[in-house]
Structure 1
Amino acid sequence: MSTDKGPYFKEDLRLLPWASDTGKPCYLAPGAEDGMISALADATEDRQVRDAARVLGECEAVLAQPAAGALALRLALTAAVRALGDVLRVAHSRGLRLGACDDE
Structure 2
Amino acid sequence: MRLLPWNGPDGKPCYLSTDEGGGYLSRLADDMEAAQLDTAEELLRHTNELLNGSAEVTAGELRFCVHRLREALRDMLRIVESRGGRAT
Shorter-chain TM-score above 0.5: yes
Q: Greater Rg, structure 1 or structure 2? A: 1
Task: State the AA in 2 paired with 1:43.
Answer: D
Of residues 49, 72, 85, the one that matches 2:74 is 85
Q: Which moved more, 1:55-64 or 1:26-35?
A: 26-35
Q: Identity of aligned pairs, percent?
A: 38
CA distance in 2, matches of 1:20, 1:14: 14
**Unaligned 5+ residue runs, structure 1?**
1-12, 99-104
**Displacement after TM superposition at 1:64 (Å):** 1.6
CA distance in 1, matches of 2:46, 2:17: 37
Where in structure 1 do 4 or more consecutive aligned residues deviate above 6 Å?
Answer: none
Deviations 1:30-72 (A, max 9, x none): 3264210000000000110010000111111121246101001
Task: State the AA in 2 paired with 1:73.
Answer: L
Alignment coverage as a number of residue pairs? 85
TM-score by length of 1: 0.74
Matches within 5 A, 1:10-49: 13-31=1-19, 33-49=21-37
CA distance in 2, matches of 1:82, 1:33: 30
CA distance in 1, matches of 2:84, 2:41: 20
Secondary structure, counterpart of 1:95 in structure 2: coil
Task: State the AA in 2 paired with 1:28.
Answer: L
- After superposition, the CA RMSD in angstroms is 1.6
TM-score by length of 2: 0.87
**Unaligned 5+ residue runs, structure 2?**
none
